[in-house]
Amino acid sequence: MVRATRAAFAAILVLSLAACGFDRDIASTPRTDTTTPAPAPSLAGSGSSASAMPTTAKILFLHHSTGEVIWNGGVPAWFTSYNAQHGTRYQITEQAFPKNDPYGWNNYPYDYWNIWVRHAGAKAYQGEPTLEMLATRYDVIVWKHCFPVSNVIPDIGRPNISSSDKRLENYKLQYEALKQKMRSFPNTRFVVWTSSALIKSASNDAEADRSRAFVDWVRGTWDERGDNIYVWDFWQLETGGGRYLAPSNAGGGDSHPNATFAKRVAPAFAQRVVDAIEGRGDL
């Protein structure tokens, strides 16, 4: 799959986590009927085997605070403009996931696995929708982690899929199970962000290297061509290829990105979603 569009903020900071996201109600209307889709104006190019989705595709963006910053950088306005210019009617909505109450303010690999794989089914788990619920309402589901995901502690040689410890060995098991779960919904496309980075004062070199190793594994091994999963490389944009959230991209005091950065990368995020919709995700 293609990596981030070229055109293009920890658990140790409890106060910053309190600012993560705003609750939204998930729309209850069903997704667009895909049995007679209208062709999107920009179809897949050479090297892509995916067909275009309906021009009325519904998109759900699941996030906490870092995602909220990028959303506020202009994502809704970008889609309004794109629809007007291309004759599409893409609908994007955002949702804090999972919410602080009753599940808890955690959106790390364990939590997506816990809600979507361990507790899969037609019934919400602790108030949070499963993929069985979401896939009937949305054509595209975008999900990500907030920056404490990058507080990766050392492996201990005992990978445990049901452990919430932030270890690379656990992350990999949880991501592999999530990949198989997402692939079981072939009519839904998923856009997965690479990790949100930490500022240098909130981490250390060894921890940052482990976090970058996870990003590299997601990009180079976990992500595969030809399926319904598309990666957007947010880590690269935040860090510029370094270990940490670049100071010029940070909001100051914690690991949230700043508004200037958000305005710069929001169009790249929105375009990545559209590329997945229109069949260019694997170019």
> What is the Cα–Cα distance from 50 to 25, expressed in whole angstroms?
31
Answer yes or no: is pLDDT of 70 > 80. Answer: yes
Answer yes or no: is pLDDT of 209 > 90. Answer: yes
Average pLDDT, the chain: 86
* pLDDT tens figures, 176-204: 999 999 999 999 999 999 999 999 999 99
Higher-pLDDT residue of 41, 74:
74
What is the CATH superfamily name and number for domain 14-277? SGNH hydrolase (3.40.50.1110)
**pLDDT of the residue at 49:** 54
Domain coordinates in residue numbering, the chain: 14-277
- What is the rounded average pLDDT of the residues 70-92? 98
Q: What are phi and psi of 79, to 5 degrees?
A: -70, -35
* pLDDT tens figures, 111-135: 999 999 999 999 999 999 999 999 9
Task: Name the maximum alpha-carbon separation found in the chain.
Answer: 53
**pLDDT of the residue at 253:** 86
